[in-house]
Structure formats: structure tokens, C-alpha cells
Amino acid sequence: MLRTIRAFEERVHVEYAEGNIPGATHLYAGQEAIAAGCCAELRPDDYISSTHRGHGHAIAKGADLTRMMMELFGREGGVCRGKGGSMHIADFSVGMLGANGIAGGGVPIGCGVGLSAKVRGTDQVGVAFVGDGGANQGAFLESLSLASVWQLPVVFVVEDNGYAQATASKYHLRGLDVARRGEAFGIPGAVVDGCDFFAVRDAAVEAVRRARSGGGPSIIDCKTARFFGHMEGFDQQAYRGSGEAEKLRAERDCIQRFTASVTGAGLVSPEEFDAIDREVADEIARAAEAAKAAADPDPAELLTDVYVSY
């Protein structure tokens, strides 16, 4: 899963540079351990709401890679039929309720999922991903309040990648962990290394168990690293110190860490990892080729799906 997300993002980076992806694209590379670690703990009938950086969440929840790639290319077979693009990537069939163009905008939607599960008497869980920037939105704090009052089966997963677009989280969060904001609402929080799959996974196990068993909401505050800029195309990352990006890749790569710890423990051999890498590379290549070959949407599509009925 980690490799799949990374390979998808690296391919998207190249395809964007070659002009094959027409618009707003925010890459998740560097943060894979969070999506993979959290979604590994979810069932297909659980729901997630996502951020503007949503590819990793969609892939980890089980969205189809080819249809995702088609969507990024703006093509007919795309998972949103070419109407959403990267920033609105979604796959309702696997409980991925959409990436969101509004920072913090998806968090209340995650609460709604929790309410829905509670009223319908299921043990489904809603996971709301939010960035460090989105965590400053009123909607995030209001959602903590609502989830606490209603004791919703929701997990708020904060992905603090160090930057809200170009503004550093050490400036806009004043150095305080977002997880501590939960204390004000009686919501337990964990601060974890978001570049460590196993740390994220452990926190997710506990938070999802709490939610599923009626214990109410939790926050997992993940400190992570964004390898690319805020957005493809426009962001030259002038706000980063020189060598910062390279340093992050050398020292904070969740995949290197995962591989080292798993091979070190003798669970998976380097050869097996190589085989996985080849398989993933083939799958991503097939997705990209299919996206290139796909047709543009029928112009009549412009006018459909505004309403179910009018």
C-alpha cells in the first residue's frame, strides 16, 4: 500500500510535468504511513472524509487506481466521470466520501458519518482526515465540540506535514500539538510519528476500537513530511530552507523506515520487496496508459448530476 501510493504520486508528478494532467493537483508523497496505517484498521463499510491531498486516502481505502488516474486526466471513465479531478477524488463504493477543496471542510462530514452509524445502530466508524492548516478552521473545532457532545464514533486524523500551503505549522500552531485541542472537549488524543507506519497503526487500532465500541471520538495527531510542494506546477517551495526537502527524503521517508524494520525483523525479504515494487510499477503504468487512452467526457456531461431530479 505504501509503495502503491508513492508510485502513484511519483507518476502523477511526471504526468503533470508533461502536461497530461490539466489542473489542481496536491501530492501525498511522504505521508503514506498515515493513510495506510489508518485505513488498514478500517472495514470496507467504514467511511472516510479527506483533505485536498486525497489520493493516498482513496488508494488506502481501496479506490480503483485506473479510474483514479483517469479522473486526474479529466477523462470519461474517471471515478468522478471527469467532474472532480484530483482535488475532489472520491470513491463512494469503498466509503471514500471525497477529497475536499476547502481546508477543514471534510471534517463535519466525518461527524455526519458517525451520526449516521449511531442512529442506524451499526458499528461503522467515520475517519476525518485534516491537515495542520485545516485544524485551525472553525469547522474543525466545531466538529470536535459536536462529536464530543454526541459521542460520535469518529476518529480525527491530523496530518501535520509542517506546512499549511507555505505557512509553517510551527508558526500557525504556535508549536502546540493539535491533539491537545481535544482535551478542551474531553476527546482523547495521541501524538505519533506520522512517518512511522507502526506508530500510526497502533494509534489507529486504539482509536477505531474506541469508536466502534461506543467510546466516542479520538484524535490522532501525526507529524509527517510533505515531499513535494503544496501543489503541482505553481509551488517552487521557496519557503523551505535549502536542502530541507532532500533531508526529509533521506531521514523521514516512511517507506524506507517500514522496509528497514520489516526486513530487519526478517518478516519480508528484500527480494520480496523488489517483486512488490515491480508489481506496483506495472499496475501504475497500466493505469497511466489507460488514462491516456481514455476518451474525454461527452460535452453533455456538463449538465448532468446537478440534481437527482429537477
Partner 1 sequence: MERMLTYVQAIGEAMSQEMSRDPSVVSFGEDNIGGMGCDGKLGNAWGPTQGLHEKFPDRIFDTPITEAAFVGAAVGAAASGLRPVVDLLFADFMGVAFDQLINQAAKLRYMFGGQGTAPLVVRTFYGAGMRGGAQHSQSLYSLVTHVPGLKVVVPSNPYDAKGLMTQAIRDEDPVIYFEHKMLYWTPGEVPEEPYTVPFGQSRLVRSGTDCTVVALGRMVGFAETAAEELAAGGVSIEIIDPRTISPLDEDSIYRSVEKTGRLVVVDESPPRCSVARDIVALVAENRFEALRGPARTVNTPHTPVPYSPALEDRYIPGPDSIVRAVLEAVEAGGWNGRRQDRLAGTQSPVA
Catalog residues that contact partner 1 under the rule CB under 8 A.
Answer: 47, 49, 78-84, 88, 90-93, 97-98, 100-102, 105, 107-117, 119-120, 124, 126, 138-139, 142-143, 145-146, 149-150, 304-310
Q: CB of 34 within 8 A of CB of 159?
A: yes
Amino acid at site 133:
G
CB of 54 to partner 1, least distance (A): 12
Instruction: Tell me the closest approach of the beta carbon of residue 178 to partner 1, in angstroms.
Output: 16
Closer residue to partner 1, CB minimum distance, 116 or 167: 116
What is the C-alpha radius of gyration for the chain, rounded to an integer number of angstroms?
A: 19
Instruction: Closer to partner 1 by CB, 150 or 273: give it.
Output: 150
Residue 29 beta carbon to partner 1: minimum distance, rounded to whole angstroms: 24
CB of 296 to partner 1, least distance (A): 14
Contacts of 243 (CB under 8 A, 6+ apart): none
Pick between residue 31 and residue 100 the one whose CB is nearest to partner 1: 100
Least distance to partner 1 from the beta carbon of 47, Å?
A: 6
Closest among 136, 133, 128 to 152, alpha carbons compared: 128
Q: How far is the CB of 152 from partner 1 (least distance, A)?
A: 8
Q: Is 25 exposed, middle or buried (0-12, 13-18, 19+ CB in 10 A)?
A: buried
Which CB, 69 or 192, lies closer to partner 1? 69
What is the rounded CA–CA span in Å between residue 188 and residue 118?
19
Please tell me what DSSP assigns to residue 48.
Answer: E
Alpha helix (H) ranges present in the chain?
2-17, 32-39, 55-61, 65-73, 107-120, 138-150, 169-172, 197-212, 244-251, 254-264, 270-293
The CA distance from 53 to 196, in Å, is 19
Sorted by sequence, the CB contacts under 8 Å of residue 17 that are 6+ apart come out as 232
Q: Which is nearer to partner 1, 13 or 212 (CB)?
A: 212
Looking only at the bridges linking them, the beta strands covering 218-223 and 189-193 are parallel
Q: Which is nearer to partner 1, 108 or 215 (CB)?
A: 108
Nearer to partner 1, 114 or 229 (CB): 114
Task: Give the pairing type, strands 163-164 and 167-168.
Answer: antiparallel
Please report how close the Cβ of residue 76 comes to partner 1 at its closest, in angstroms: 10
Closer residue to partner 1 in complex, CB, 10/76 = 76
The nearest distance, CB 143 to partner 1, in angstroms, is 5
SS (H, E, C) 171-229: HHCCCCCHHHHHHHHCCCEEEEECCCHHHHHHHHHHHHHHHHCCCCCEEEEEECCCCCC
Residues in the chain: 310
